[in-house]
Chains A and B, each alone.
Chain A
């Protein structure tokens, strides 16, 4: 038995040995140690950041995962308290407390990631592929002179990833062959957090403060300032994480008619999305746009009303479990991806749905 175990360990070790390609640029550490860049709001870790931990977990089974939080004041401390028990795989929480991180500006954040990396030498750095991660991670990667991988949907080995290209019309498998850290942003809808993994209260990761004494004030810090955030207040669930999404396109014809869709969303407990046409026509604000350049969603149920189904829109919703399309044009491309299609006038269908749908529990 012992011999067998030894042989097993040896063959594993050989398998992990860096190839000549790695040697030329510096060896990848034998075990993965990952830094997850986390976003927090109102004292708790945002759901996409938990998905990033879930993704980090699949990089290597012996992965040790640290979470980096930055900000200032009581809300950061509260978030840190949440972070220590937010996911059983988090083994350490790094906290950077400074006014410089009060807002999600790329310049101080990228410098912070560089600083933490230089000290701790992680093999991987992961963030969720939201507007925050997409803004800061490539900048940090340039400072560390490595190529990041955007919007990873599948991790098959610690350096082998699948990501969509051409608006999701092709899936590209890439291998990262550069020096560490290997940096990636992950598509949060592809790494759903297991429901039981968030409830492990017994788990408590230690918190360590990031020493910011060498965080120079010069350089780029201070060349950008945060002015304000104009947000759309909404009581409906967040579009990126909603279980049901109701989307309207140009067929809705006006902002007024979109209210009808909002009523339907309320009844279903759904989030409201929109196509580019609906946003450009001014029916709804930009942040509701679903598609290649808007949000990527993968809800259990996606209901599309008056949506033709352009390539760029399909890119944002094709991974939904069940797709329903209501359109009066029977030839609309949306019907090619819809599980259930209803050819009809949405101004008749929506009121009928409102009337006949069961009350949500």
Chain B
């Protein structure tokens, strides 16, 4: 079985982002970019499944500008067998529906038995692509996964999902789409020899036109603003003062 993993290049999670002065978006020039943390977890899970002998190949896919190749190289250095880059130059023009359509076209070409994605990208915080992809493919979905167990004989996956109020377990017929939550695993670091090896691995290039996917957006960004600043707080010195403030000033207890 082949596993396909979608990875996204985003502003590194530790960077304090800056909103552009003209309010058109967030500054991404000269900012550290990395693989979206949830995508790392997705890739790690795919590699573990391959290492346990339940999959033969892990293909990493990224959709976006030329620099996405760096993200794919990171994925290859972690252990993915090969990469696919669907190049789309126009920045900001990609929404989850378009990405899901691109991935659907790739699934038709590559015929993977399992798709793993992160549950959300930490830049747009959409939490949509995996669900949309499953819908387009008419495959079952296991979102927010904290545990995945595959049964090769029965061709099913048991997925523990992090839902409001606890953990929900579902049983999915393969092929299926799984999106990963933070608790699924601890992604590995790429070692230097593996980084070197990754340089010779293949990254196949496509454009959306090659895949017959029209990228269109039905959402228009009007402006991006900084959230309102909270007014400065005070440092207090004792528990008594705290209780007094909460009772008489803030009136919350």
Q: Which A residues are within 8 Å of any B CB, using their own CB?
A: 25, 105-107, 110, 130-132, 134-143, 145-151, 160, 163-179, 219-220, 223-232, 240, 244, 268, 276, 279-280, 285-287, 292-293, 295, 300-301, 311-312, 318, 321-324, 330, 335, 337-343, 349, 352-353, 356-358
Beta-carbon nearest neighbor of A146 in chain B:
B218
Residues of A within 8 A of B14 (CB): 311
18 contacts between A and B (CB under 8 A): A107-B140, A150-B128, A166-B122, A166-B125, A169-B226, A170-B226, A171-B227, A172-B224, A176-B218, A177-B218, A229-B163, A244-B252, A286-B162, A287-B164, A342-B235, A342-B237, A349-B239, A357-B253
Contact B170 A130 (CB under 8 A): no
Beta-carbon nearest neighbor of A312 in chain B:
B13
Task: Report which of B141, B164, B224 forms a contact with A240, defined as CB distance below 8 A.
Answer: B164
Task: Report which of B164, B218, B220, B250 forms a contact with A131, defined as CB distance below 8 A.
Answer: B164
Residues of B within 8 A of A175 (CB): 219-220, 222
Q: Cα distance A132–B168 when bound, in Å?
A: 11
Contact B166 A352 (CB under 8 A): no
Contact B219 A149 (CB under 8 A): yes
Q: Which B residues are within 8 Å of any A CB, using their own CB?
A: 11, 13-14, 16-17, 19, 26, 95-97, 100, 119-120, 122-129, 131-136, 138-144, 146, 158, 161-173, 176, 181-183, 217-227, 230-231, 233-240, 242-243, 245-247, 250, 252-253
Contact B125 A292 (CB under 8 A): yes
Residues of A within 8 A of B237 (CB): 342
Residues of B within 8 A of A244 (CB): 252-253
Residues of B within 8 A of A166 (CB): 11, 17, 26, 122-123, 125
Q: Cα distance A130–B235 when bound, in Å?
A: 35
Contact B163 A131 (CB under 8 A): yes
A224-B170, A227-B171 are known contacts; what are 13 more A-B pairs with Cβ within 8 Å?
Answer: A106-B143, A141-B135, A170-B224, A170-B227, A171-B226, A174-B219, A175-B222, A225-B172, A226-B170, A293-B119, A301-B246, A339-B233, A342-B239
Main secondary structure of the interface of A (DSSP, over half): mixed
Contact A318 B227 (CB under 8 A): yes
Residues of A within 8 A of B133 (CB): 142
Contact B166 A324 (CB under 8 A): no
Contact A335 B235 (CB under 8 A): yes
Q: Cα distance A226–B122 when bound, in Å?
A: 29
Contact B135 A139 (CB under 8 A): yes
Contact B243 A170 (CB under 8 A): no
Residues of A within 8 A of B245 (CB): 340
Q: Cα distance A315–B163 when bound, in Å?
A: 19
Q: Cα distance A225–B142 when bound, in Å?
A: 11
Asked whether A171 and B224 contact (CB < 8 A) given A164-B125, A224-B141, A301-B246, the answer is yes
Task: Report which of B100, B164, B218 forms a contact with A142, defined as CB distance below 8 A.
Answer: B100
Contact A131 B223 (CB under 8 A): no
Contact B219 A147 (CB under 8 A): yes
Contact A340 B219 (CB under 8 A): no
Report B37 CB to chain A, min CB distance, Å: 9
Contact A134 B218 (CB under 8 A): no
Asked whether A341 and B235 contact (CB < 8 A) given A106-B143, A138-B128, A165-B123, the answer is yes
Beta-carbon nearest neighbor of B134 in chain A:
A139
Q: Cα distance A244–B252 when bound, in Å?
A: 9
Contact B233 A148 (CB under 8 A): no
Contact B165 A141 (CB under 8 A): no
Q: Cα distance A135–B179 when bound, in Å?
A: 10
Task: Report which of B16, B100, B243 forms a contact with A169, defined as CB distance below 8 A.
Answer: B16
Q: Cα distance A137–B143 when bound, in Å?
A: 12
Beta-carbon nearest neighbor of B158 in chain A:
A227
Residues of A within 8 A of B221 (CB): 172-174
Task: Report which of A110, A229, A311 forms a contact with B16, defined as CB distance below 8 A.
Answer: A311
Residues of B within 8 A of A167 (CB): 122, 125
Task: Report which of A219, A279, A323 forms a contact with B138, defined as CB distance below 8 A.
Answer: A219
Report A115 CB to chain B, min CB distance, Å: 14
Q: Cα distance A301–B168 when bound, in Å?
A: 30
Beta-carbon nearest neighbor of A151 in chain B:
B125
Task: Report which of B95, B142, B183, B243 forms a contact with A286, defined as CB distance below 8 A.
Answer: B183
